[in-house]
Structures are given as C-alpha cells and as structure tokens.
Amino acid sequence: MHNLRQWGEGRTVIISAHRLSALTEASEILVMQHGHISQRGRHEALAAQPGWYRDMYRYQQLEAALDDVPQEDKEVAGA
C-alpha cells in the first residue's frame, strides 16, 4: 500500500479488494452491497461500527489467525 500511496499521490485511485487488510491505509473506503454504497469511511471507523465491514474484517482476522495454528494443534482441537 505504501508504494501505491506514493504512486497515487495527488490522484484518485480506485482499488477493489477482497482482503480488507489491504485497505487499512486507504483514505476512504466504500462498501458496496447490491449495487449501492452501504458503508463509507476510514478503516478505523468502519471496523468500529456495526455492519458488513466490521463483521467481514473480524472474520478475515480470525481466519488468518487459524491459518497460523500448527496442523498438530488443529488435529487435537478437532478430535
């Protein structure tokens, strides 16, 4: 994101992302649902308020944390 910020300085840059962690430094985030903007703001604000962005961001954080758990621990937890 840092290189993109340097490249896009003084420009409007539109990024489409499924990984919300890629958007944490964006100056503005628009959440689109069913063709309409359902949420709008900076990452900090959207992650703090109830809604799709917060739910999905938390889900992706949990998913990433579970990916970091060694396979042996996953097998013990599933037994």
Model confidence over 12-59: pLDDT tens digits? 888 888 889 888 888 899 999 999 999 999 999 999 999 999 999 999
With a threshold of 0.85, does the pTM exceed it?
Answer: no
- Contact between residue 36 and residue 51 where contact means Cβ atoms under 8 Å apart: no
- 69 or 34: whose pLDDT is higher? 34
Provide the pLDDT for residue 12: 84
Answer whether residue 3 shows pLDDT above 80: no
- Kindly report each contact of residues 53-62 with a partner whose C-beta sits within 8 Å and lies 24 or more positions away, as own/partner: 53/20, 53/29, 56/20, 57/20, 57/21, 60/19, 60/20, 60/21, 61/21
Provide the pLDDT for residue 38: 97
- 11 is written with which tokens? 């420009």
H or E stretch covering 7: helix 2-7
Provide the pLDDT for residue 73: 59
